[in-house]
Structure 1
Amino acid sequence: MANQAPSPAANPQNKVPLPDTLVIIFFVALAAMLLTYLVPVGSFETQEIHYLADGVEKQRSVVDPSSFRYSLDEAGEHLKQPVALFEGGGGIGFFNFAFEGLTSGSKWGTAIGVIMFMLVIGGAFGIVMETGTIDNGIMRLIDKTQGNERLFIPVLFILFSLGGAVFGMGEEAIAFAIIICPLMIRLGFDGITTVMVTYVATQVGFASSWMNPFSVAIAQGIAGIPVLSGAGVRGLMWAGFTLMGVIFTMRYGARIQANPQSSLCYESDRYFREHHETNKLQSRFNLGDILVLLAILLTVIWVIWGVVANAWFIPEIASQFFAMGIVVGMIAVIFRLNGMTLNRMATSFKQGAGTMLEPALLVGCASGILLLLGGGKPDEPSVLNTLLNSAGSLIGQLPAVASAWFMLLFQSVFNFFVTSGSGQAALTMPLMAPLADIVGVSRQVAVLAFQLGDGFTNVLVPTSASLMATLGVCRVDWGVWLKFIWRFILVLFLVSSLVVVGAHYLGFA
């Protein structure tokens, strides 16, 4: 079935082609530039707050909600800072946005840190894949699970959802997707299924978590309510949303297994099918393969421990996977797996990193959109700060239940610009918490609206570096992904709306 030619109905030539992801990002950037000609800039003052998390006092710099001021020109009028087509001296012009986006951030986050993370783990797993161990291991696994392939979906989805809920798993899903995607396709699923059981599952857990240290804990600390309070209600919420994700993915997976050509990414999955064909003549599985798999397993356990116990982030995780690649390569050289040599190790690393160049470009260009709007710093004049203040003023004039729902809607939209959970909490929660008091919404409900709005739209917005990287690994174009995921996002938003409104009426505090 996998080698059968696509039917005329499934032939992409008979359909209107979807715009490339880079085309979509370009026009979104153009819209952001035009917005700077219409919206004046403003800024907030910041303040340090202290809160308890896990019995430890922590502090964070957040906006002062009463300090917003428009920037004024010499005539005392609201100042606009329109973005020009070009800007010298390291400034942000429209045609600068790609380069500036690619070089923005630090090694601790978007964009340059995420891009380097992708290149390093891409290279490391390039060595792993070149050994042939994963291909042969997958074939053995398939042979032993005949008739039970669909169980992979709920097991993987629940595990990744737990990762998102417990320690904010997100970027880590990229590395797992590299291994899991070939497995899912050979089980009769597709690249979209892989994205669902890895990255989407982490964000379902992230959004509905009872203890996420990067969203729930920080948001509650900023809102001035006990950190990790309401965990019982959120635990039930996590179980419900995770079950929704499992059912949605299993139904989709069953349809793809029945008719692989109905997949929106059937053509892009050809890479994995053809790669399988070139390797399937091998049937070895020896001590070298066992040691390779053991090295991968120990690295994963080590990384999870580091993230949970020592708050490792992008630099530390990348370093561990780089070390894993070297160890796996040396094992392959010693046991002559696929005729591995030191030179072939180097070539495999470069080829693996090369597969990450396309998603890396998308990550950088998407990050440039935020720069066009003035960046995400609250104490520097920007269009984004003005939009944030205007949204807060609008919500403060609404009835209580409408305010609760609009908080959810606002957080969902604002996540397009600031996809970092902790960053969005620092920007929005100092505004939403006092607004909740004014309109009669509990601060617990305001935090609930924040975490649901912040988390779920991470599986949709092209400005999410982790999403774009996972899509790139699975060779799924963002336009194709949008065509698939909008139904699931709509269901998530409708259920989230019911949860927020219900929590308000039931007095969740």
Structure 2
Amino acid sequence: MTSKKLSFFNRIPHAITMLFGIIILVALLTYILPAGSYERELIDGRSTVVPNSYKTIESTPVGLLDMFTAIPLGFKAAVEIIFIVLAGAIMFGFMEKSNAVENAVGTLVKKLGLKKKYLIIVIMTFIYGILGVAVGYENNIAMVPIAAVLSLALGGDLMLAAGISVGAMTIGFGLSPINPYTVGTGHKLAELPMFSGALLRSVLCFLALSVMAYYNVRYFKKISTHPDKSLSKGLDISELTLSRPIQEYSLNQKNWLVIIIFMAGLLTILYGVFNLNWYVNELSAVFLMVALLCGLASRMSATTMSETVLKSVALAAPGAFMVGFATSIKVLMEMGNIGDTISYQLSSLLQGLPLYLSAISMSISQSVINFFIPSGSGQALATLPVMLPLGESLGLSRQITILAFQIGDGLSNLINPTLGGLIAMLSMCRVPINRWIRFIFPVLVSVLCLAFLALIIAVAVNYS
């Protein structure tokens, strides 16, 4: 049984192959599925679907040239996310060059002791999860490499680092009771009190993060006993490992100055995100400013700073490429006008299902749609105006429909190759998505079971 499981996961193709296969599939679907669209109206300046307005339109199948043209257009559409990957890498490159990150992690491990390494893994998993809950997703991209240094310092690997940071932040953000993009948009569309029903969502989020923490510790124990079972064999760990024994680490004045600059940058970002509606361009600007200040504080020469920039960009380039490549799938969907058709067909399949099964099926359908519309707020605006009245006709409260949407959208993000933010953060850990899927899939199954149980309870108590 174990060999079959390994055999299955070993067949997961390389990330480039996987995404190109999806591109070909979407191009073929434009010939198979009818083109269609919903009417849309502006609500508070955002384009929202009008329920029961779906109609077929003239087909616009994507030809061979258009399929390949979608790739540069995808890079154009994703330029902001691509650049924040580069900007985050540059900032971390300067912090790493100053030795502040290495000395800080080394000193932390020295103070806490390696005997408490499993507790450190649990605590860091929840810290990154809380960042996902309260701060956002791409906003935390600069925090990911720190988990990589910490994991390697404790004797773990880059996959464990991804589990601590990317896995926890994805679960925290996806199931956050105060997620403004999914829950907030959903409650606004459903005319419900903002972030109402927070207790059930909070319990579900905490339990899901507990599963992630347990799995991280379990994986850590496994690779500590059997290093050959590491999923990170062959991955580049240069510039991320500690260079001397733990007992030799301490923080000097320059290190503290770099850490203070970094923390000031994070506080500035938090203020801008919550008070000034900042998004990735402003975050990229702050990352670059922090990088420059760290270079000056460390008294780097102009040549050293220039070389650090180019070296950091080189390390981040594969991940930045993957973000643009993944976004070309969204461009193809728009070219073929089949996004609304997929939403309409999936919502039609829910008609006539038993009450409990309809809630779970609604969540599964949102997971499928998420691979084609990998934006929480975009998916909410495209599908919830259709799903909310459908849910009510099936006997589901609006709160249950939004919970089903949040679960389907949020948890499928753990393995969504078309989600630019996931690809970007995995690249900061230098982990390819095909290996990541092999690592995170058992977590996804476990957390989905928890989430579906929460949906069943919600239906049973008429959660509203």
What letter is aligned with 2:255? Answer: D
1:311 aligned onto 2:277: yes
How far apart in 1 are the matches of 2:406 and 2:323? Answer: 23
Kept in 2: contact 1:136–1:282 (CA 8 A): no
Residue 302 of structure 1, CA deviation:
2.3
Letter of the structure 1 residue corresponding to residue 303 of structure 2: N
Distance 2:271 2:212 in 1: 26
- In the TM superposition, 1:92-241 aligns within 5 A as 93-104=66-77, 111-146=78-113, 147-167=115-135, 169-241=136-208
Supply the AA of the counterpart residue of 2:425: T
Q: Aligned pair 1:39/2:33, yes or no?
A: yes
Q: Does 1:330 align with 2:296?
A: yes
Q: Are 2:317 and 1:374 equivalent residues in the alignment?
A: no
Residue range with higher mean Cα deviation, 129-138 or 404-413: 129-138
Letter in 2 for 1:161: G
CA distance in structure 2 between the aligned counterparts of 1:197 and 1:263, rounded to whole angstroms: 15
1:462 pairs with 380, 392, 417, which one?
Answer: 417
Say whether 1:298 aligns with 2:253: no
Q: Structure 1 residues 160 and 138, CA, compared in 2 at 3 Å: closer, same or farther?
A: closer
* Partner SS for 2:41: strand
Asked if structure 1 preserves the Cα contact closer than 8 Å seen for 2:132 and 2:140, the reply is: no
Q: Within 2, Cα distance between the matches of 1:217 and 1:485?
A: 27
Q: Distance in 2 between matches of 1:282 and 1:332?
A: 20
Structure 1 residue 485 and structure 2 residue 440: aligned? yes
Q: 2:454 aligns with which of 479, 488, 499?
A: 499
The Cα shift of 1:320 comes to: 1.1
- Give, in whole Å, the separation in 2 of the partners of 1:284 and 1:206: 34
- Which residues of structure 1 form unaligned runs of 5+? 1-11, 50-57, 72-78, 87-92, 105-110, 334-339, 376-380
1:284 CA displacement: 6.9
Where relative contact order (Cα < 8 A, 6+ residues apart) is larger, the structure is 2
Bigger mean CA offset, 482-491 vs 232-241? 232-241
1:429: which partner in 2?
384
Report the CA distance between 1:288 and its aligned residue.
1.2
- Quote the residue 2:3 is aligned against: none
More helix by share: 2
The question of whether the paired residues in 2 share the 8 Å contact of 1:188 and 1:260 is answered with no
Letter in 2 for 1:391: L
Instruction: Select 1:355's aligned residue among 315, 335, 352.
Output: 315
The 1-side partners of 2:133 and 2:237 are apart by: 34
Q: Answer yes or no: is 1:343 the counterpart of 2:316.
A: no
Instruction: Give the equivalent residue in structure 2 for 1:90.
Output: none
Q: Deviation per CA, 1:356-399, whole angstroms, max 9, x where unpaired?
A: 11011111111111221226xxxxx7111111111112213323
Task: Provide the alpha-carbon RMSD of the alignment.
Answer: 2.3
Cα distance in 1, alignment partners of residues 108 and 455 from structure 2:
43
Q: Distance in 2 between matches of 1:308 and 1:357?
A: 30
> In the TM superposition, what is the alpha-carbon distance from 1:280 to its structure 2 partner?
9.4
Cα-to-partner distance string for 1:245-285 (whole Å, 9 max, x where unaligned): 22222222222233333211132154357x54499999674
Q: Match for 1:363: what amino acid?
A: V
In 2, distance between residues paired with 1:228 and 1:240? 19
Q: For structure 2, list consecutive stretches of 5 or more residues without a partner in the other structure.
A: 1-5
Amino acid at match of 1:365: F
Q: Secondary structure at the match of 1:228?
A: coil
Q: CA shift at 1:119, angstroms?
A: 1.2
Residue aligned with 2:298, SS: helix
Q: After the TM superposition, which residues 51-66 of structure 1 pair with which residues of structure 2 at under 5 Å, given as runs? A: 60-66=46-52
User: 1:189 touches 1:260 (CA, 8 Å); kept in 2?
Assistant: no
TM, length-normalised to structure 1: 0.85
Instruction: Tell me if the contact between 1:462 and 1:468 (Cα under 8 Å) persists in the aligned partners.
Output: yes
8 Å CA contact 1:404–1:500 kept in 2: the answer is: yes
Q: Out of 341-350 and 132-141, give the one that drifted further.
A: 132-141
Residues 479-508 of structure 1 deviation map (CA, whole Å, 9 limit, x = unaligned)? 111111111111122222221122112211
More displaced, 464-473 or 147-156?
147-156
Relative to structure 1, the CA distance from residue 259 to residue 297 in structure 2 (aligned partners, 3 Å threshold; closer, same or farther) is farther
Letter in 2 for 1:299: G
Distance 1:17 1:46, change over 3 A: closer
TM-score by length of 2: 0.93
- Among 396, 404, 416, which residue is 2:351 paired with? 396
Residues 59-118 of structure 1: CA deviation (Å, up to 9, x unaligned):
6431002111101xxxxxxx33221111xxxxxx122232111112xxxxxx11100111
Letter in 1 for 2:171: V
Alignment deviations for residues 212-236 of structure 1 (CA, whole Å, 9 cap, x no partner): 1111111111122222211122222
3-state SS of paired residue (1:482):
helix
Match for 1:80: what amino acid?
Answer: S
CA contact (8 A) 1:121 1:353 kept: no
Q: How many residues align?
A: 457
Amino acid at match of 1:401: Y
What's the offset of the Cα at 1:40?
1.1
> What is the rounded CA distance, in whole Å, between the counterparts of 2:141 and 2:134 in structure 1?
18
Q: How does 1:408-427 map to 2 (within 5 A)?
A: 408-427=363-382
Q: How far did residue 41 of structure 1 move?
A: 0.3
Q: Deviation per CA, 1:10-64, whole angstroms, max 9, x where unpaired? A: xx9xx96853211111111111111111011011111234xxxxxxxx5643100
- On the 8 A contact 1:216/1:451 being kept in 2, the answer is yes
Aligned partner letter, 1:321: F
Contact 1:192 1:481 in 2 (8 A): yes
Inter-CA distance 430–166: structure 2 relative to 1 (3 Å threshold): same
Q: 1:81 corresponds to which residue?
A: 60
Shift of residue 209, structure 1, vs aligned partner: 2.0
- In structure 2, C-alpha distance between the alignment counterparts of 1:68 and 1:406, rounded to whole Å: 21
- Structure 2: how far apart are the matches of 1:341 and 1:280? 29
Which structure would you say has the larger Rg?
Answer: 1
Aligned-partner Cα distance in 1 for 2:31–2:48: 28
Question: How far apart are the structure 2 equivalents of 1:219 and 1:447?
Answer: 6
1:268-279 to structure 2, matched below 5 A, reads 268-271=235-238, 276-277=242-243
